[in-house]
Amino acid sequence: MSASLAAFLLDTQRVIRYLEDLMPKISYRPAPQRSTKKTTSSERDALSKELGSLQLDKTTTDSIRNVIMSDRIDYQVGLDD
């Protein structure tokens, strides 16, 4: 495994652990964005594998993927009342 792939996976796992707790608690569902991030097929495959192992519903999984692959922060994200 290359060093860049290992770093990508470590950062992605940290973000996923946070988002898997947060996303079910909020109504925000990010739309898919065209990403300008340069990701390899092995990075995309690793992300899919990691998300698949979480046993979350498809909506939450898709939301997490959209946040991770986006190259911007949507400031409409917030906790529900």
Question: Within a domain: residue 77?
Answer: no
Rounded CA-CA distance 42/22 in Å is 26
Q: Is residue 23 part of a domain?
A: yes
| pTM metric for this prediction | 0.62
36-72 b/e (C-beta count within 10 Å ≥ 16 → b): eeebeeebeebbeebbeeeebeeebbbbbbbbbbbee
59 is a domain residue: yes
Residue 14 maps to a domain: yes
Summarised one tens digit per residue, pLDDT across range 5-28 is: 667 767 777 777 777 777 777 777
Asked if the structure places residue 75 within a domain, the reply is no
Burial of 27 (0-12, 13-18, 19+ CB in 10 A): exposed
* Number of domains into which the chain is organized: 1
Domain of residue 11: give its range.
3-69
pLDDT of residue 81: 45
Q: Is the dihedral of CA 49, 74, 21, 7 positive or negative?
A: positive
